[in-house]
Structure 1
Amino acid sequence: MELLRGVIRTYAWGSRTAIADFTGRPAPTAHPEAELWLGAHPADPAFVETEDGERSLLDVLRDDPEGQLGPSVRDRFGDVLPFLVKVLAADEPLSLQAHPSTEQAVVGYQNEDRMGVPLSSPVRNYRDRSHKPELLVAIEPFEALAGFRPVARTVELMRALAVPELDPFVELLVGQSAADGLRTLFTTWITAPQPDLDALVPAVLDGAVNYLRSGATEFADEARTVLELGERYPGDAGVLAALLLNRLQLAPGEAIYLPAGNLHSYLRGVGFEVMANSDNVLRGGLTPKHVDVPELLRVLDFTPASAESLHPRLDQEGFDLEYLTPAVEFAVSVLRLDGENLGHEVDAPCRHDGPQILVCAEGGAVVRAKSDTLTLERGAAAWVSADDGPIRLVADRPTQLFRATVGI
C-alpha cells in the first residue's frame, strides 16, 4: 500500500479553488483545475510514492501485474487497471456529451484507424476500444443534465415556456413513440441550419425570461439553466437539447450512473467520479470542440429515463455503503466512520477482489494493510494492491473514504 499522487488536468470549465482546497494547496490557482486523475490511464497515470521515489502506476502494474491486480482481475481484463478514478470540479457547464458501448467503440476506433485519423487529432472521437460507463458521487452539491426526460414532462415544460416557435416541435414529440419522437426532435435541432438556430434559440431564451418573471416555479431550474447555457453558447443547438434532459440536483453523497448512450452535461459542483478506463467522448454541443453529428446519433440511446432511475441502488454492509451498478470494470463505495466505529480499529468489508484506490473526502484515518500503514487526511489517496488487502481503519473523528475497486 502506498500514497497515490494524482495528476491535475486544467480545462476552462474547471475551478481555481475546489481541487486546490480539497488537496490542501494554496488557492486560487493560476489555471482552472477541472479533474484530478487517480488511475493508470496512459494519457495521465497517477504516481505511487515508494521508498525509492515516485513511480508511475503504469510502471508499477507493468512490473508486477499479478501482485498488483490479482489473478482474477488479470484473467478478466489482462494486465491493465480496468477503472479510472477522478475528482471532478466544475465551475462552468461541461460540453453536452455521450459515451459509446463497447461494440460501438470497437467499430468507431477501427473506422478512424482505417481513415488514418491520428489518436492526437482534435477530430478523433475514439481514443481506445472501450466503453465508458461512469458513476459520479457528489462531494459538494452537484448539478447536472442527464438522460432524456419522459416525453410527457418535456411537453409540459415546452408548453409552459409559451414560445409559439416551439409548437411545431412539440408535435414532433407527441406524434410518435417516445424514443422515435426524441430522436426526430433532437436530430432536427442538432442538424438545423445556423440561421434557424439564431432565430429559435433567442425565442426560447425570451420564453425562459418571461416564465421566471411570471413567478412560476415548477420549471424554474430548467428555465435558469437554459438562460445560463444560452448566454455562454449563443445560437448553439445544445441549448435546445437541454430542454429534453432531466435537470438533476445532487446533495453530498447522492450519485448518478451514466451507461452508454446517455446524453449528459455536468453543470457545476465537485464530485468523485469512477469510470471504465477509457477516454471516448462524443460531443453534442455546448462546446467549441469537434461535434461529429452522425457518430453521436449512432451512439445515443433515446429511451426516456426518469431522474430517479439514474440514481444507483445502495447496499449497506457495516460502515461501507456501496453504489450498485451493472458495470463490471468498477465498484464504488463510501466508508463512513463515526459513532461507535471511532477510536478503535475496524475491518473494512471486503466485497470485491483486486486492487483498491482510496480517497479521503472528510476527516482522516489510519489505514492498515498487510505491508504498510498510512495516514490519509482529506484530499489524500492511497493505492492498495490486490496482494496487500484487506484493510483495517482507525479514525478519531468522523471520516469518509471513497473506495473504488473492480466490479463483479
Structure 2
Amino acid sequence: MLTTSPDPTTQEGPITDDLVLTGAPAGTRPRTAPRLMRNAVQRYDWGSRTALARIQGRAPAGHTEAELWIGAHPLAPSALRDVDGHETCLADEVGADPLRTLGAACLARFGPRLPFLLKILAIDRALSVQVHPDAAQAAAGFAAQEAAGVPAGPGRRFADPYPKPELLVAVTHVEALAGWRTAPEAARLVDLLDGARAERLHAAVTTEGLPAALALLAGWPAHDRAALVADVVRGVRVALAGSAVERDADALAALMWVHRLVGQHPGDPLVLAPLLLDVVRLAPGEGLFVPAGVPHAYLSGLGVEIMGASDNVVRAGLTPKAVDVPLLLDLLAPDAAPVVAHGRPVTAHEVVWAPPAREFRLGRIVVGRGDVVTPAALPGADAGPQIFLCLTGSVDVLAGTHRVTMRAGESVFVGADVDVVRLVGDGEVYRACVGEHDAV
C-alpha cells in the first residue's frame, strides 16, 4: 500500500553495488539502486471513490481519486525512497544528475527532464473534451508567451513548450470519445434531434465541417445554453422512444451517451459531442493512442496511461475550466485519428505498445510464481530511465545486489545507469520507458 510516509514493511536488499558509469573515475559515481516511489493522487471530480484504494489495498479516502501520477511532472513529482526511509524528489534528482538518471541518449533528445508521465486513471464520470498541440505548436506558442511576458498561471494558453501525446491501456472495459465521425454520419445523428438549434448544428456539420461544428458548440452563447440542452433532452427522449434507433446500435450508443452527459454536465453544449466524435470501446488489454490535434474525452473505466510530460490542454467543454475556441480551432486536425491497438509480444512475458510518440512506450509484463523475468532489451548504449508499476500481486525488482519489493499500486524507478533488471514474484507489471524514434 502506498502511504504518505516511509513504509517500514518494504523489503529492500543492501545497498552495496559499487559499479560505476562508463568513463567515470572508479568510486566517484556508484550506480543508483532501483527505488520505491511515493506518488501523488489527484482528486478530480470525475474520479472514482474506490478504484485506486482497491488497487492499493487500502481503505477509501472518502473523496474522489481520479489519477495516480508516477513521474517527475513539476505539478506533482514522485518521491524516491532509499533503504533507510529517506525520500528525495525525482524531479530534483533528474535535475541534479541527468546523465545518471536519464542516460546520454535521453538527455540529448529531451534535455534534463523525464519526457513521460505514467498514470492510473479511475474514471467514473466523463473528462473534458480536449485537444493537445503538437511539438511545433507547443514550442512556438510557449515561446510567444515568454516573449510577451505572459505570467505563469491559468491565463497562459501554453503551460510549457512540450507536446502531450498519450496512450491509454484499458484495465477494465473503457469507453471514450476519440476522433471524428464522418460528416454524413454526424449529420444523420444530428438529424435525430428537432428544432432550430439542431438545424444550426446540422448546417455547420454539412457546410463548414466537424471542427467548425465542435467549435460552434464550444462557443455557444451563454444565455442560450440552457435552452439548447433542454432541446437536446427533448430530442433524445423522442429519438430513444422511436423504433428506428433500436435497430441502429451506433445511434443508440451515441444518444445514450448524450443522455448520460446531460446528467453529468447539465447546461454544457458539449453534451452533444457523441454526435460528432466516435464512441470508442476498449476491452481490457486494448490500447488507445491519441496524437496531437485529435479531440477526445475519456468517459468511463480504469486504465494505465502514459503521456508526454506536459500540461498543454485546450478544452472544448464538459468542464468548468476555461474554453479557448480560437485556439481550439487552430489545434484541431481533421485528418488526424486515434489508433486502437493491442500490445506487440516481444518476449514470452511482455507485450509492448510503441506508438509514433518519441516521448514514451509502454510494456505490460506478467510475472508468474517461480519466474525470473528479464524485460526486453532496449536499443542504444543505455536503456534510459524506466518506471515499473505493479498493478496486481507483488513483484520484486532486482538489479545487481539491489532488491526492491513493490506491491499492487506501487512503482519503482530505475535510472539509466542500471544495465540489467530482473523481475520475480507473482503479478502484473507495467513498464514505462522512452520511445524508440524521434517521430511526432
- Secondary structure of 1:19's counterpart equals helix
Identity among equivalent pairs (%)? 38
Structure 1: where are the runs of 5+ without partners? none
- Secondary structure of 1:366's counterpart equals strand
Specify which of 20, 45, 48 is matched with residue 53 of structure 2.
Answer: 20
Instruction: Kindly report which structure 2 residues correspond to 1:45-194, keeping only aligned pairs within 5 A, or say none.
Output: 45-52=77-84, 53-120=86-153, 122-159=154-191, 161-165=192-196, 166-175=198-207, 181-194=209-222
- Whichever residue aligns with residue 404 of structure 2, its letter is L
Aligned equivalent of 1:385: 415
Displacement of 1:212: 2.5
Q: Give the Cα separation in 2 of the matches to 1:295 and 1:107.
A: 13
Aligned equivalent of 1:212: 240
Contact 1:209-1:223 within 8 A present in 2 as well: no
- Secondary structure of 2:209's counterpart equals helix
- Secondary structure of 2:343's counterpart equals strand
Specify which of 243, 246, 255 is matched with residue 287 of structure 2.
Answer: 255
Structure 2: where are the runs of 5+ without partners? 1-33
Displacement of 1:403: 0.7
Specify which of 336, 343, 367 is matched with residue 370 of structure 2.
Answer: 343
Q: Give the Cα separation in 2 of the matches to 1:162 and 1:283.
A: 25
- Secondary structure of 1:363's counterpart equals strand
- Whichever residue aligns with residue 199 of structure 1, its letter is A
Contact 1:123-1:290 within 8 A present in 2 as well: no
- Secondary structure of 1:332's counterpart equals strand
- Secondary structure of 1:402's counterpart equals strand
Structure 2 CA distance for partners of 1:349 and 1:304, relative to 1, 3 Å: closer
- Secondary structure of 1:20's counterpart equals helix
Contact 1:149-1:304 within 8 A present in 2 as well: no
Contact 1:194-1:235 within 8 A present in 2 as well: no
Q: Give the Cα separation in 2 of the matches to 1:85 and 1:125.
A: 24
Aligned equivalent of 1:278: 310
Compute the RMSD of aligned alpha carbons.
2.1
Displacement of 1:198: 3.4
Contact 1:312-1:324 within 8 A present in 2 as well: no
Aligned equivalent of 1:367: 397
Q: Give the Cα separation in 2 of the matches to 1:187 and 1:162.
A: 19
Q: Give the Cα separation in 2 of the matches to 1:135 and 1:19.
A: 19
Q: State the TM-score, normalizing by the size of structure 2.
A: 0.84
Displacement of 1:81: 0.8
- 2:433 is the counterpart of 1:400: no
Instruction: Kindly report which structure 2 residues correspond to 1:221-370, keeping only aligned pairs within 5 A, or say none.
Output: 221-303=253-335, 305=337, 310-312=339-341, 314-318=343-347, 319-338=349-368, 342-352=369-379, 353-370=383-400
Aligned equivalent of 2:8: none
Instruction: Kindly report which structure 2 residues correspond to 1:29-48, keeping only aligned pairs within 5 A, or say none.
Output: 29-48=61-80
Q: Give the Cα separation in 2 of the matches to 1:259 and 1:239.
A: 23
Q: Give the Cα separation in 2 of the matches to 1:16 and 1:151.
A: 38
The superposition leaves residues 273-303 of structure 1 with CA deviations (integer Å, 9 ceiling, x where unpaired) of 1111111110111111111111111111123
Structure 2 CA distance for partners of 1:228 and 1:114, relative to 1, 3 Å: farther
Structure 2 CA distance for partners of 1:372 and 1:191, relative to 1, 3 Å: same
Displacement of 1:171: 4.3
- Secondary structure of 2:321's counterpart equals coil
Q: Give the Cα separation in 2 of the matches to 1:296 and 1:233.
A: 20
- Secondary structure of 1:336's counterpart equals strand
